[in-house]
Amino acid sequence: MKRLSLLSVLALGACATANQTYGPSGQRAYVINCSGAALNWGMCQTKAGSLCGTRGYDVVAINGESNPTVLANPYALYAVPIVNRTMEVACKAQR
């Protein structure tokens, strides 16, 4: 039962998040985070599309790295990659 509950929480929390910021030239931009094993770059792109709509967007910066991490419990030792993915995008101007 615990495993099912944990999987449900992970599935519900599996979405990219975005924070508003400003790009190098001062334009409004968004930093989108799609880190973790349950997310992927496509989810970052989907979030950018939903933020910018039909105007589209330009990718200002992208960062992806995987860091090995060791987790332990009384029964086992696990090597788990922690995946960090962020993408900064700026919406294109309205035509």
Residue type, 79: A
**Res 13: pLDDT:** 54
In tens digits, the chain (95 residues) has pLDDT values of 444 444 444 444 568 999 999 988 888 999 999 998 889 999 999 999 999 999 999 999 999 887 777 778 888 887 777 889 999 999 998 76
**Res 30: pLDDT:** 96
Rounded to whole angstroms, the Cα distance separating 13 from 5 reads 12
- Domain extent, residue 16, equals 2-91
**Res 8: pLDDT:** 42
Q: Per-residue b/e over 10-36, b at no fewer than 16 CB within 10 Å?
A: eeeeeebebeeeebeeeeebbbbbbbb
Total domain count, the chain: 1
**Res 51: pLDDT:** 95
